Amino acid sequence: MVSRHLNPDIARERLIKHLRGRGIKDERVLEAFRKVPRHQFVDGAMYAQAYDDNALPIGGGQTISQPYVVALMTELLELGSDEKILEIGTGSGFQAAILAQFSRRVYTIERRRELGEAARKLLRAMGYENIVFKIGDGTHGWRQHAPFDKIIVTAGAPVVPRTLVEQLSVGGRLLIPTGDRAYQELEVYDKTDAGIQKRSVGGVVFVPLVGEHGWEGR
């Protein structure tokens, strides 16, 4: 675990060592964590916990995901260096910033306007020019810019939305947590000429994916 009393640079290196110890092997993913300052994506009251391996609240009942889960999902995408990525659930913007290290273009959709606009403002201020933002129902995907090489969903769905599978390119990969509101399985969908190949890589807990092809909002 990362100490709450270290400066960000030291804390970030401790986190990277921790992630490596948990099995993250892709050094490019770890280098992305080195480049993206997670403390800038959390509320000031949470600053001291920014490099702990925990999810943290960001307002509106949403969270910035646990660093290990972000690293695992990024590694599972098996990203190249020039891919077109769709992210469902911008949240704080941290995952989008990590993805932007690998991508020609990241398209990210956030349902909650206040979160999406805050993430856009922060990422623009940090110099990210290859991230495109949209406020809307992420379960519809972004047909205007489809197909996508990779799609990552950072909220738990009852089932995988068919719209997202349709917007995935042949040879592409979709990551999505599916299950109930309290617990999900992280699933990997690979789209091939022969159809869809699916596998599960373990249990996770995400906030619900709300939308027409997800959970109904409360």
**pLDDT on residue 218:** 56
In 3D space, the residue among 95, 61, 105, 80 whose CA is nearest the CA of residue 173 turns out to be 80
pLDDT of residue 46: 86
Can you say whether residue 4 is alpha, beta or left, with left for phi > 0 and alpha for psi between -120 and 50 degrees? alpha
The per-residue pLDDT for range 112-164, each reduced to its tens digit, is 999 999 999 999 999 999 999 999 999 999 999 999 999 999 999 999 999 99
pLDDT at 217: 74
pLDDT band at 61 (very low <50, low <70, confident <90, very high): confident
pLDDT at position 179 is: 95
Q: In this predicted structure, what is the pLDDT of residue 5?
A: 54
Active site members: 65
* Range 70-84 average pLDDT: 94
Query: 9-31, pLDDT tens digit by residue?
Result: 999 999 999 999 999 999 999 99
Q: Name the pLDDT band for 81 (thresholds 50, 70, 90).
A: confident
Average pLDDT, the chain: 93
Model confidence, pTM = 0.93
On whether the CB atoms of residues 55 and 92 are closer than 8 A, the answer is no
Domain ranges in the chain?
8-204
Report pLDDT digits (tens) over 97-112. 999 999 889 999 999 9
Across 71-75, average pLDDT: 97
pLDDT at 75: 97
CATH of 8-204, picked from 3.30.70.100, 3.40.50.150, 3.30.70.3040, 3.20.20.140, is 3.40.50.150
